[in-house]
Amino acid sequence: MMGIPVLCAVLLLFICHNQSLEVKQPVFGSKRSQEDVLVGPSSCESRTQQQVFTNPHNFSVEIRMNSVAPAVSDTYLCMAFPMPTRDAYIVDFIPHASMDTVHHMLLFGCQTPASTRSNWDCGSVPGTCEDEASILYAWARNAPPTKLPKGLSAKDLTSNKVLSLVSVLCGLMSLFSVSSDVGFKVGKDSGMSYFVLQIHYGDVSAFRDHHRDCSGLTLKMTSKPQPFIAGIYLLMSVDTIILPGKRVTNADIACEYTSYPIYPFAFRTHTHHLGKVVSGYRIRDGKWSLIGRQSPQLPQAFYPANEELNVKNGDTIAARCVFTGEGRTYKTYIGGTSEDEMCNFYIMYYMDSKHAIPYMSCIETGSKQLFRHIPAEASIPIRVSPAHMNSVVHMEHSADFQDNRSLLGTNKADQFQDKDYHLEPVLAWPQSSLQLGQVSGLALDTNSNLVIFHRGDHHWGSNSFNSQARYLERSLGPIQQSTILIVDTAKGNILQASGRNMFYLPHGITTDKENNYWVTDVALHQVLKVSSDGRDTILLALGEAFTPGSDSKHFCQPTDVAVDPKSGEIFVSDGYCNTRILRFSPKGQYLSEWGAGSSDRRRRVPFRVPHSLVFLADRQEVCVADRENGRIQCFIAETGEFVKEIKKDEFGGEVFAITYSPAGDGLLFAVNGDSPYHSAPIRGFIINYSSKDILDTFSPNKKEFKMPHDIVETRDGSIFVGDADSKTVFKFTEKLHRSVKKAGIQVQELQEMETIVQTKLRPEHNKTAAFQEKQNKAQQPPPQKEEKEEEEKKSGAKHNRGQGLLPAIITTLLLVPLLLVISLGVIICWRKNNQCEVKTDPTSVGEIFGKIRGKAVGTLNLGNFFASHKGYSRQGFDQLSTESSDQEHNDEDSSDSDNEEYSALPPPQSS
């Protein structure tokens, strides 16, 4: 009788053993060999391979760097590895890395990797994945490893299922095998085809002994379907603004959960430098249960969740990030750079495979009433020692930045597109006169002050240059006034003045990370690096003074400079005579140059006055305002490879200057100019870099733009535009505006129409409104007050209906004569020709109205007329390229500066 139970037990143990995952313990030696970071420069080879165990369902995949030796600190390297072609499940992650070598590792899953090379620099361009990247694993210095759980807890299992003898015996086998029923689904039907391993090498001093690195991961996998599938839930703030000097700012996120139960088992927090603590909770029946709480200044890997709890339909998931603005002198927004902030709380969960959702997110701002009940611990910062601060992981180029960009879509773009924010001029800036000449360039210094570059008493006119672009007014001497002014952005007070007796015709200016000025002078044909200490020391000069040329040592009226803040490389747009972008080392050594780009080489149009440059640090790109072609072109900074072109009819054929913000998908700010060939208002533009859509336009109220020559954005979101003709600097700030512009169409919200619509239509409540309504039921106003408010609403509605009736009557009376005129015209036409085609498009109606008023609605523009017909060529209409768009104005109020910069050579003929 005893033999039968023993036999059954042995049989069950044998079955369990065959279904488990075999773990092969490596033989470890030295510390570095423990992490497989081998010393020999040639002994480290790629170890990416699959190992099939005795059970055909179970295997492991090793993902390792292939013998790399990063030369620069803070290098991000990526490698792509194909996933199994069949469905597979990751059931364990085993890291192989030394904290002395590797700062952090991330494992992504995606459909198409950004590169197929053996390894590539993924810290900026081209990134990790071409499509959306899903984070599967994170490891950082001193962080505990992430362990996938065994599925439902014993309590849940015993209440819902029968605990089998096989499971018990398999649990006893855990000492020499791994059994799991939770896994990340990858492969065939997962929507992911590649693993991408990203490793951040923080300090490369560990590579002084010339060893090569093979850090990476071992993935324990099985092809056997798992009863529970792991996934990631991300809570993220998208609209937090941290005010300068404010001690505490909370970012609160909350969403009602409306799907099948999930079981959190790990969490991860992420902010940048200002974050003090991040906490995540489940709220059920008013009770807050902690999922996880951690300082984002500690290694940002996944930590075990605090309790074994589930989240089911009807619960609320909430998170809070606590920030401080102390030490900052400007507003801090959500964004991808180290100067911006992020608020991310990741939950790693598992759920039943029949209802599995691999990724969920929440970006809704939690109501103040809800967060009044948040546990006090969520607002108490976690102290972090300086030693831990040195190992903090800020992954701006990794999972957090990609998650923010995929969910956010925009940051400031949301402000301009969805929240009715609009740039409006600040009329009281500057508070006192700056006494400027022609404003040619603007920049920001490292203290966030505005730098103004102007021409004093010098002007660029038709007699300034000869046909060979040589400066003819050298006898006037250099400008005696201070051409560089440092101005505070709040009031416009001059803080410092410099640049006397140095320049003849200033043009562009920018600053580097050491606060030096990089300027261009079109009369000198030079690019100069000037100290900002007020001593006017020329630290570096590129080009030969007063000598135009087109080789690597000469410029011809260079226009602008852009600086890579990381590498210090210099990019120059050259310019009015030449049609190229040049790249130099920080010490001025010529590296390369390129011309205009195009997706179709057969239709490549050369630059026509590359006028303004901006460096996109988060993308490692350079964008140029190609002035006379009315377009913006962007290139990979290192290679000059063409990336994209933005050309809009709204530009009116000319783009004078651009600047960039990394917020959201990236924002380009641009200003156009007056063109003899196109009719478009002169104004500023806010453009979504990724979609190329114009999100908003802006212009002064009282004054008008005459020749907006340069533009710059401050860290608090203000925009400054320098106008050469009016010798003015305009300031614009973000304000809530009742007139928003979407897709280039201005929508005027009339109060009367709003009232009528609101009385007829019932507004649709989104999830946030419904959630807040449910939370506020307990605190409804007293009945008397509510009845009083209802009576006031009814009274207001009646009053507004009365106001809306009069405009309707007036409109009807005005339409009657119009209909009579149209009818009369139809009758006359029919009598003459027995037929008549009536056009009801807006153009026809506009023409009728124009005739009624006795004048045309618009004016005839010959440039537009000829350009609309095939075979039209601008040849014969083009004059020399000038700062005032190549035309002389005959307006009575035109200034002497209207005829400036008649200096560029005729544009080269395109093939």
In tens, the pLDDT along 422-459 reads: 899 999 999 999 999 999 999 999 888 999 999 999 99
Catalytic entry in 65, 79, 96, 104? 104
Identify each DSSP E strand in 797-858 by its residue range: none
Number of Cβ within 10 Å of residue 549's Cβ equals 16
- For 295, 495, 518, 530, the CA distances from 509, given in Å and listed in that order, are 41, 18, 6, 10
Binding site for Ca(2+): what residues are annotated?
442, 710
- For 241, 441, 513, the CA distances from 482, given in Å and listed in that order, are 37, 14, 23
Active site residue 272: yes
DSSP helix/strand/coil, 748: strand
Q: Which residue would you say has higher pLDDT here, 889 or 307?
A: 307
* Residues 683 and 663: beta-carbon distance below 8 Å: no
- Give 711: exposed, middle or buried? Use CB within 10 Å, 0-12, 13-18, 19+: buried
Tokens 């362990």 belong to which residue? 147
- Residue 781: CA atoms inside 13 Å, Cβ hemisphere, count? 8
Binding site: what residues are annotated?
103-104, 200, 270, 272, 342, 442, 455, 507, 576, 611, 627, 709-710
Number of Cβ within 10 Å of residue 179's Cβ equals 16
* Residues 903 and 882: beta-carbon distance below 8 Å: yes
* Residue 855 pLDDT greater than 70, yes or no: no
- What is the distance between the alpha carbons of residues 252 and 275, in angstroms, rounded to a whole number? 13
DSSP per position, 409-435: S-SHHHHHHTS-EEEEE-TT-SSS---
* Residue 846 pLDDT greater than 60, yes or no: no
C-alpha 351: how far from chain center: 33
- For 237, 242, 402, 822, the CA distances from 333, given in Å and listed in that order, are 10, 7, 17, 56
- Give 401: exposed, middle or buried? Use CB within 10 Å, 0-12, 13-18, 19+: buried
The torsion region of residue 588 among left (phi > 0), alpha (psi -120 to 50) and beta comes to left
- What is the distance between the alpha carbons of residues 428 and 445, in angstroms, rounded to a whole number? 23
Active site residue 889: no
- CATH architecture of structural domain 228-384: Sandwich (2.60)
- Tokens for 311, please give them: 């989240």
- Give 104: exposed, middle or buried? Use CB within 10 Å, 0-12, 13-18, 19+: buried
The one-letter amino acid code at 893 reads D
For the four alpha carbons of 546, 552, 557 and 561, in that order, the dihedral sign comes to negative
- For 258, 345, 365, 381, 847, the CA distances from 319, given in Å and listed in that order, are 17, 7, 10, 15, 59
Q: What is the pLDDT of residue 336?
A: 64
Average per-residue pLDDT for the chain: 76
Active site residue 784: no
Report which of 344, 392, 414, 280 is spatially closest to residue 135, judged by C-alpha positions: 344
- Tokens for 701, please give them: 């109220």
Q: What is the pLDDT of residue 84?
A: 87
Q: What is the pLDDT of residue 357?
A: 86
Q: Please tell me the pTM assigned to this model.
A: 0.47
Binding site for Zn(2+): what residues are annotated?
507, 611, 709
- For 9, 620, 776, 779, 790, the CA distances from 785, given in Å and listed in that order, are 74, 59, 16, 13, 9
- What is the distance between the alpha carbons of residues 668 and 412, in angstroms, rounded to a whole number? 11
* Residues 274 and 324: beta-carbon distance below 8 Å: yes
- What is the distance between the alpha carbons of residues 905 and 105, in angstroms, rounded to a whole number? 54
- What is the distance between the alpha carbons of residues 907 and 911, in angstroms, rounded to a whole number? 12
C-alpha 903: how far from chain center: 38
- Tokens for 725, please give them: 């003709």
Binding site for Cu(2+): what residues are annotated?
103-104, 200, 270, 272, 342
* Residue 474 pLDDT greater than 90, yes or no: yes
Please state whether beta strands 228-236 and 182-186 pair in parallel, antiparallel, or not at all (unpaired).
Answer: parallel
Catalytic entry in 342, 395, 502, 707? 342
Q: 21-30, 608-617, 784-793, 895-904: lowest mean pLDDT where?
A: 21-30
Catalytic entry in 65, 79, 83, 200? 200
- Indicate if 228-384 has the same CATH topology as 51-150+178-222: yes
Question: What is the four-CA torsion angle of 850, 855, 858, 862, rounded to 10 degrees?
Answer: 130
Catalytic entry in 65, 105, 211, 270? 270
* Residue 607 pLDDT greater than 90, yes or no: yes
Catalytic entry in 198, 297, 415, 557? 198
Q: In which band, very low, low, confident or very high, does the pLDDT at 125 lie, cut at 50, 70 and 90?
A: low
Q: In which band, very low, low, confident or very high, does the pLDDT at 889 lie, cut at 50, 70 and 90?
A: very low
Q: Which CATH class is domain 51-150+178-222?
A: mainly beta
Catalytic entry in 96, 211, 272, 459? 272
Report which of 667, 709, 727, 670 is spatially closest to residue 691, judged by C-alpha positions: 667
Q: 24-33, 680-689, 721-730, 889-898: lowest mean pLDDT where?
A: 24-33
Question: What is the four-CA torsion angle of 46, 49, 51, 56, rounded to 10 degrees?
Answer: 180
pLDDT digits (tens, 9 = 90+) for 161-199: 333 333 333 343 333 344 458 888 898 778 889 999 999
Active site residue 104: yes
pLDDT digits (tens, 9 = 90+) for 248-304: 999 999 999 999 999 999 998 989 889 999 999 999 999 999 999 999 888 777 888
CATH of the structural domain 423-734, one choice from 3.10.20.30, 2.120.10.30, 3.30.70.260, 3.10.150.10: 2.120.10.30
Active site residue 200: yes
Report which of 722, 706, 713 is spatially closest to residue 686, judged by C-alpha positions: 713
Q: In which band, very low, low, confident or very high, does the pLDDT at 43 lie, cut at 50, 70 and 90?
A: very low
The pLDDT of 302-324, averaged and rounded, is: 91
Report which of 375, 422, 280, 342 is spatially closest to residue 733, judged by C-alpha positions: 422
Binding site for a protein: what residues are annotated?
455, 576, 627
DSSP helix/strand/coil, 596: coil
pLDDT above 70 covers a percentage of the chain that reads: 66
The one-letter amino acid code at 185 reads K
Bridge partners, 450 (sequence order): 444, 487
Active site residue 270: yes
Look at the chain and count its residues.
911
Active site residue 887: no
Per DSSP, 786 falls in state: H
Give Cβ neighbours of residue 700 (< 8 Å, ≥ 6 apart). 425, 730
Q: Enumerate the domain spans of the chain.
A: 51-150+178-222, 228-384, 423-734
DSSP per position, 464-522: SB-TT--BS-GGG-S--S--EEEE-TTT--EEEEE-TTS-SSEEEEEE-TT--EEEEET
Find the radius of gyration of the CA atoms of the chain: 33
Catalytic entry in 65, 79, 103, 459? 103
Tokens 């008023």 belong to which residue? 853
